[in-house]
Amino acid sequence: MKIKFTWPMGIILALASFMIFILSYVYKATFVKKYDHHLVSEHYYKDELNYQTEIDKLERASNLKQNIVVEHKNNGLLIKFPTEFKASDIKGTINFQRPSNNKLDFQIPINLTENEFMIGNDKLVEGIWDVKIDWYVGKQTFLLKQTLSY
């Protein structure tokens, strides 16, 4: 039996192929974990309202004589706080966010005995990290945001 290929059959095959192509992308974007999509913050709109206070903290930190320095060392990540402040007076949190996988995100409270803080290699995975150091001394609040490749 010989099948005759006509132009209506060609149009039907083209439309069917296009529909399969589009549906495969919808399936991948919805169900395949490799293509997981999510917002960086669960509370995006609430965070947006507090953005001006973040800008003020960033500006206050940039006006310091010495801002926080983040250095990559062999045994981890060294965070140096300004020496103009007493180490025991510095409090706050260090947030590490992984843009590609929010399951690797973690937060560390700042409780210093000296002006340097070491984060070991066991907590960090190779790749790109968004680091947010939100710290205060007394009533002065400061913020450092940095993207780094570890």
Is the same domain home to 25 and 59?
Answer: no
State yes or no: pLDDT of 96 exceeds 80.
yes
55 and 105 share a domain?
yes
Number of domain units in the chain: 2
Its domain, for residue 85, covers 44-149
Residues 25 and 70 in one domain: no
Side by side, the strands of the sheet bearing 140-149 are 106-111, 90-97, 128-137, 140-149
Residue 38 DSSP class: -
User: Which of 1 and 17 is assigned the larger pLDDT?
Assistant: 17
Same domain, 71 and 99: yes
* pLDDT tens readout for residues 97-147: 988 887 888 999 998 888 888 888 888 888 888 999 999 998 999 999 999
- Do 55 and 14 reside in the same domain of the chain? no
The DSSP secondary structure of 94-141, one letter per residue, reads EEEE-TT-GGG-EEEEEE-SSSEEEEETTT--SSEEEEEEEEEETTEE
* 78 and 103 part of one domain: yes
Q: Tens of pLDDT along 32-87?
A: 877 666 656 667 777 777 888 888 898 998 888 888 888 888 888 889 998 888 88
One domain for residues 109 and 53: yes
pTM here is 0.66
Same domain, 48 and 104: yes
CATH number, domain of 139, equals 2.60.40.10
